Amino acid sequence: MGNNRLFETATLTSSGRPVFLPNEVECQLLSNVDLEAEEESSSLFSLQSGLLILTTHRLLWFSSSSSSSAAPPVSASIPLASITHIFSPKKSIKSIFTSHRIRFQVTATDSRSVVIKVVVRGKVDWDGFLGNVWDCWRGRAWESFDTSERPCASGGLYGTDGSVRMVGVAGILRKEQEMWETTDKSLQDAFQDLNALMSKAKEMVMLAEKMRQKLLSGSSTQTSSTNEDEIGSKEEMHDWLLSVGIVSPVTKESVGALYHQQLLRQLADFVRNPLERAGGMINLIDIYCLFNRARGTELISPDDLMQACSLWQKFDVPVMLRKFDSGVMVIQNKSHSDEEIFNRIRAVVKKSEALRAGISASDAAITIGIAPAMAKEYLLSAESKGLLCRDISPDGFRFYINLFPNIDSLDVYLEMRASSKKWPLMVEQKWWRGGGQS
Binding site for other proteins (CB under 8 A): 358, 383-384, 386, 389-395, 398, 400, 402-405, 407, 409-410, 412-416, 418, 420-421, 423-424, 426-427
- C-beta closer to other proteins: residue 153 or 418: 418
Q: Where are the beta strands (DSSP E) in 277-324?
A: 281-283, 319-323
| Of the candidates 57, 97, 100, 101, the residue with the CA atom closest to the CA atom of residue 81 | 57
DSSP code of residue 8:
B
Q: Tell the burial category of 434 from Cβ atoms under 10 Å away from its Cβ (0-12, 13-18, 19+).
A: exposed
Which is closer to other proteins, CB of 110 or CB of 411? 411
CB of 371 to other proteins, least distance (A): 23
Spell out the long-range contacts of 206-214 with Cβ–Cβ below 8 A and sequence spacing 24 or more: 208/241, 208/246, 208/249, 209/249, 211/237, 211/241, 211/249, 212/249, 212/250
In sign, the C-alpha dihedral spanning 432, 435, 436, 438 is: negative
Task: Give me the helix-helix angle, 258-277 and 284-295, nearest 10°.
Answer: 110
Q: What is the DSSP secondary structure assignment for residue 98, as one 8-state letter? A: S
Residue 392: CB minimum distance to other proteins, A: 5
Residues 50 and 33 sit within 8 Å (Cβ to Cβ): yes
Between 394 and 434, whose beta carbon lies closer to other proteins?
A: 394
How far apart, in whole angstroms, are the C-alpha atoms of residue 196 and residue 190? Answer: 10
CA–CA separation, 342 and 344 (whole Å): 5
State how far the Cα of 332 lies from the Cα of 337, in Å rounded to an integer: 9
Q: Least CB distance from residue 407 to other proteins, whole Å?
A: 5
Q: CB of 394: closest distance to other proteins in angstroms? A: 8
Compare residues 153 and 414 and give the one whose CB is closer to other proteins: 414
Question: With respect to other proteins, which residue has the nearer C-beta, 277 or 421?
Answer: 421
* Residue placing its CB nearer to other proteins in the complex, 14 or 419: 419
Contact predicate 353/400, CB 8 Å: no
State in angstroms the smallest separation of the CB of 435 from other proteins: 19
CB of 390 to other proteins, least distance (A): 6
CB 351 → other proteins: shortest distance, Å? Answer: 16
- Check if the beta carbon of residue 393 is closer than 8 Å to that of residue 357: no
Please identify, using beta-carbon distances, which residue of 90 and 421 lies nearer to other proteins.
421
Give 5 or 422: the residue with its C-beta nearer to other proteins: 422
33 vs 96: CA distance, rounded Å:
17
Looking at the Cβ atoms of 270 and 397, the one nearer to other proteins is: 397
Q: How far is the CB of 298 from other proteins (least distance, A)?
A: 44
Tell the smallest beta-carbon distance from residue 391 to other proteins (Å).
4
Q: Closest separation between CB of residue 383 and other proteins, Å?
A: 6
Closer of 230 and 391 to other proteins (Cβ): 391
Long-range contacts of 301-305 (CB under 8 A, 24+ apart): 304/260, 304/263, 305/267
Contact 104, 116 (CB under 8 A): yes
User: In whole angstroms, what separates CA 385 from the centre of its chain?
Assistant: 44
